[in-house]
Amino acid sequence: MEGRARRILRAPGFCLGLAVVAYFAVSLALSYLRFEELATTNWDLGIFQQALWSTTHGRPFYEAGDWEFYGASSFLQVHPALLLYLIVPLYAVAPTALTLFGIQSAVVALAAVPIYLTGLRVIGRPAPALFVAALYLSSAPLLLANLYDFHLESFLPLELSGLYYLWLTGRYRWGAAVAAAACLTLEVVPFLVAAMALLFLLPDLRRTFARWRSRSLGARELRAYLARREVRWAFGLLLGAVAAYPLLRLFEWDLLPNLLGVPAVVPAPAGSGTVRSNLLAVGWDFSFSLVYKLRFWVLLFGLFAFLPALAPRTLLLSVPWFLYTIQANQISWTTLGYQYAFVPMAGISLAAIYGFRALETELLPRLARGGARARRSPRPALSRRWRPGGAGRRRAAAWVAVTAGLLAANFLLGPLDPANQNLSNSVPGYRVAYAVPPGFDRARTVSGLVPPGAEVLATTDLFPLVANDRNAYALLWTPAPPPRLPFGPAALPPYVLASSAYLFSVPGWLADRLENGSLYGLAAAAWTTPAGPVLLWQLGYDGPVRALALPAPYPVVESGRALGRTIFGASETVTGAPFPTAVGSSNATGGPFANTTPTDLPAGPYTVTFLLRLAGPAPPADAGVVAVGVSGFGGVPSSERAVAAGTLAGGGWVAVSLSFSSTGPLLAVSAYADGLLRGAPVELDEVVFAPAP
């Protein structure tokens, strides 16, 4: 019994299945962890949630993000991704983000199966096939792409590697079905399928043209060539791929708008206000960050031990995407942490299989024969076919070392390395921490207070919490609002759901009205969440605030002694914990100012004290004043005090205090000092927030 169990554990199929399940479990867990950390956004999770939910409720693939930006009434007007219809029933049964994460992790993990089967057929032994499949599953670019929300590009490794294996084994009808599904995934796929068809035609075409040049190819031979089953199917695949792209565009630009009865949305240059085809926006800017783009491709090859470079013919699978990324003027195509790493993964994995075979049957035997001749050995060091399985312990140890090195490199580059976790300023794939974040349930509770069907405007990080509704709208990750936002000063949104992390994206006209108690009332607030305080405003609400996890009573907090740094008359940064003081240009007065980092305060009275002094002689009487005050967001009472020049004329530090009070929790409160004292620099020493006695 023990011997049987040992054989099962050593079986290649068991090892492959274990690796597939492990990748699925890790990627799914980390993907959902990002969701709980509120690191997912409208792009690119909320749009798919809303598109799938809308389809099950009678409006095919409507999502607010592309409507607000481009006027697209359906996601299919952005990408003709009819494959989404296969996901609709699954999302109808379980309309949650976890459903999409599970689908994505499953299809990415399962791509290792056709990669392994192709390696087994090409190389003939399970160990090398497992080696390449393991390189695919352990790839840092793959996992980073997997962790960035949900994307249709995640289907490409499974579709393209499955198509290749079916074609390699002569299962052309099944292969044609997979090719059709792949082309209905994204509009870039027909070019990749066409490259695969050319790859299968290439050996026969080379021999055929050689005979044609030698005039030994007649009409009878040509008919016999075209009559071969594999040739006919390969030409059919090529012609089908070539025809697929214009048909998809015809559907996207003409047929679909007529079916939906909506205006057509056609490609246009970026910034024109209409949709552009992201995967086929040819910029012809080869010089744009060329070294950066080439470095990305070298990294991809390096993580596969540069085996793809040993099979140059098979690299035809990656040529279309390589040329596109090289000519593009967007860095995201060739940056770790974006979904675009899915696109070349199948081609590079398949090329690595053929590269391993070339290494085994050509390169290493050639090197061995050369070494034997150099030593003038009477017998060759290796047989014509190099067999690493019987070549000794040193070769086995070398492969173990290579495998360990590649796994270590992927670990250090990927999100599993603790040094790479929760890199908030990095690309999306790295934005994950390995601890259960506090407050996600509170944020979900607040978002759940929006009635079904009610119009709600949410910041981009909170939009996935309300995406299962056609009346949910999203703000951007930038201060500029979407150009087609259906709200304005004359059409206020009934509900506003915002986090402190994205308060900057709330339009100014709306921020002013949220602070107006006669228009909006704060209906609920979760003061401790992964995105900071999460607040829900309701138009016309005048009831109590439903507060969850209020901040602790606020202690006396000092900014830290700034040691007399000049805040007026110089441009510099004054630092101090926990209130760094930044110095810059004031929009209000045109002069320099100092502003503390915003903080959250519970209800109650407060006193803010500034220590100021003149850094030079007394200014003239008409020099102006220094204004100190408190500002914020979400009902912070305006409190300001003017300090005349004569008040600071004594030469020492002068404590300037002001008070404010609030009956409810306050969000993003900050203190500022501003002024126009001409010819008399003013220094700030510290800022103190303290509860008033």
Residue 213: in which H helix or E strand, if any?
A: helix 189-213
Q: pLDDT digit string (tens) for 477-491?
A: 888 888 899 999 999
Q: What is the pLDDT of residue 485?
A: 92
pTM: 0.82
Distance CA 448, CA 195 (A): 48
pLDDT of 598 over the 70 cut: no
Is 594's pLDDT higher than 60?
A: no
Q: Which two tokens stand for residue 514?
A: 């949220």
CATH of 557-691, one of 1.20.1070, 1.20.1300, 2.30.30, 2.60.120: 2.60.120
- Please give the average per-residue pLDDT across 597-625, as a whole number: 67
pLDDT value of residue 473: 97
pLDDT at 331 over 80: yes
Smallest CA-to-CA distance from 151 within 269, 51, 74 is with 51
pLDDT reported for residue 564: 36
Q: Which of 28-32, 276-280, 302-306, 618-622 is the least confident region?
A: 276-280
Asked whether residue 4 carries a pLDDT value surpassing 60, the answer given is no
Q: What is the pLDDT of residue 577?
A: 28
For the ranges 152-166, 591-605, 613-627, 634-648, the one whose mean pLDDT is highest: 152-166
- Other CB atoms closer than 10 Å to residue 246's CB: what's the count? 10
Query: In 10 A of CB 434, how many CB atoms?
Result: 12
Residue 318, amino acid: S
d(CA 304, CA 112): 14
**Over residues 304-325, mean pLDDT:** 93
pLDDT digits (tens, 9 = 90+) for 117-128: 999 999 999 989
pLDDT band, residue 674 (cuts 50/70/90): low
Please, which residues have CB within 8 angstroms of residue 575's CB and are 6 or more apart in sequence? 560, 581
pLDDT of residue 550: 64
**490 burial level (CB within 10 Å; 0-12, 13-18, 19+):** exposed
Q: How confident is the model at residue 637 (pLDDT cuts 50, 70, 90)?
A: low
* pLDDT over 90 at 219, yes or no: no
Q: Is the pLDDT of residue 371 over 70?
A: no
Measured distance CA(111)–CA(153) in Å, rounded: 13
Question: What does the domain layout of the chain look like in residue ranges?
Answer: 2-39+96-358, 440-548, 557-691
At residue 184, the pLDDT reads 96
The lowest-confidence range among 89-93, 95-99, 330-334, 516-520 is: 516-520
Reported as a single tens digit per residue, the pLDDT across 442-462 is 999 999 999 999 999 999 999
**pLDDT: is 602 or 506 the higher one?**
506
User: How far lies 172's CA from each of 177, 203, 227, 543, 550, in Å?
Assistant: 9, 18, 15, 67, 63
| The Cα angle at residue 68 between residues 62 and 74, in degrees rounded to 5 | 20
Mean pLDDT of 622-628: 65
Output Rg (C-alpha) for the chain, integer angstroms: 32
If you average pLDDT over residues 377-398, what whole number do you get?
Answer: 51
**Alpha-carbon dihedral 406, 409, 410, 413, rounded to 10 degrees:** -170
pLDDT digits (tens, 9 = 90+) for 180-196: 999 999 999 999 999 99
